[in-house]
Amino acid sequence: MRFLKQLLIILSISLAGEVLSHYIPLGIPASIYGMVIMFTLLCTGVLKLESVREVGKFLVGIMGIMFVPATVGIIDCWDVVSGSIWLYLTVVLVPTVIVMAVSGFTAQALGRMKRGVKGQNES
């Protein structure tokens, strides 16, 4: 019963994201609205992490399986996709490399800042 309650909480937040996406035509995907709502509720303490932790871990654990239908869809319409495969690969790979590089540099900079603050506090 606990898992069902947690799943219903997550699905309710997803539904709220869908409703917002429908009524606020900014071109923002419903999933982003849902994540912002979830983040806000967790940060403000309105929703406790324990209320969604177990189902959240389960959903993250099966995330790879969730990509199977999209992959099958691409294979199903391969005749349409194959003519532009280099364009699709460029659109996917270039932003991925950029995001990885920016994330790495940001993590390194934050690590240096943290070590610098820690060193100043010890002096």
Helix axes 2-23, 30-44, angle to 10 degrees: 120
Return the structure tokens found at 104: 């790495």
Total number of domains constituting the chain: 2
Residue 48: what pLDDT? Answer: 95
**Domain span at residue 22?**
1-66
Whether 99 and 109 map to the same domain: the answer is yes
Whether 25 and 48 map to the same domain: the answer is yes
Residue 122: what pLDDT? Answer: 62
- Phi, psi for residue 26 in degrees, rounded to 5: -100, -5
Q: In degrees, to the nearest 5, what angle opens at C-alpha 106 toward C-alphas 103 and 108?
A: 110
What is the pLDDT confidence band of residue 85, given thresholds at 50, 70 and 90? confident
Domain boundary among 66, 89, 104: 66
pTM, rounded to two decimals: 0.64
